[in-house]
Amino acid sequence: MDECKPLVEDALHIRRKLADLLETASLPGVPDDEARRMLSILVVGGGPTGVEFAAELHDFLKEDMPRVYPKLSGMLTITVVQSADHILNCFDQRISDFAEAKFARDGIKVLTGQRVLAVAAAEATVQDKKSKVKHNLPFGVCVWSTAGANTRPLFSST
C-alpha cells in the first residue's frame, strides 16, 4: 500500500497544478499567448502510460473545462513526444495506428522520432533523431512517462 503513496501524491500534484494553471490563465489581463503556454501539456513518452494519461487528460479537459472556463476552450494543447517511430511501439502496429489516428482526430499532437534532450522550468529541448534538428517546446506542465525512469519531480513553469 505504501508503494502507491508517491503515485497518488504525484497525481494530486498534477491535478492541483492543472487547476492552478486554469485559474491563472483565466484571470483578466493574461495575454492569450501566455495563457496558451500555460495550457500546453507536454507528455514525454508514448508508451501505454503516457498515451493513457494524454487520452484521459484530453477527455477531462475537453468535456469538463469548457463548462467552467469557456474563455480557455481552444487554448489547451497536449503534445506527446515519443523517441520511437510510433506510439505504443510495444504493441501490434494496428494498435499504434489506431491510437495515432484517434489522437489526430482529438487534436493531440504526436511527435515521433523525437528525443527530449533537456527539460527546464518552462520548456523542453527536443531533437529529431534523423535530422538532428533541435527545437524548444514550451509547456505549463510536463509529465515524464518513459520506460526505465524513476520518479522525478513535477516540472511546471509557474
For residue 131, tell me if it sits in a domain.
yes
* pLDDT at residue 143, as a whole number: 93
pLDDT at 158: 55
Rounded distance between C-alpha atoms, residue 102 and residue 22, angstroms: 25
* Per-residue confidence (pLDDT) for residue 10, from 0 to 100: 84
What domain count does the chain have?
1
Residue 153 lies in a domain: no
Domain that holds residue 118: 2-147
Q: Which residues of the chain have pLDDT under 50?
A: 1, 149
d(CA 103, CA 115): 20
Please tell me the pTM assigned to this model.
Answer: 0.88
Structure confidence at residue 64 (pLDDT): 85
In a domain, 43, yes or no: yes
**pLDDT at residue number 2:** 57
pLDDT score for 4 = 58
CA-CA distance, 51 to 24, in Å (whole number)?
27
Length of the chain, please? 158
- Whichever domain contains 73, its CATH number is 3.50.50.100
Q: What pLDDT does 136 receive? A: 97
Strands 77-82, 40-44: pairing is parallel
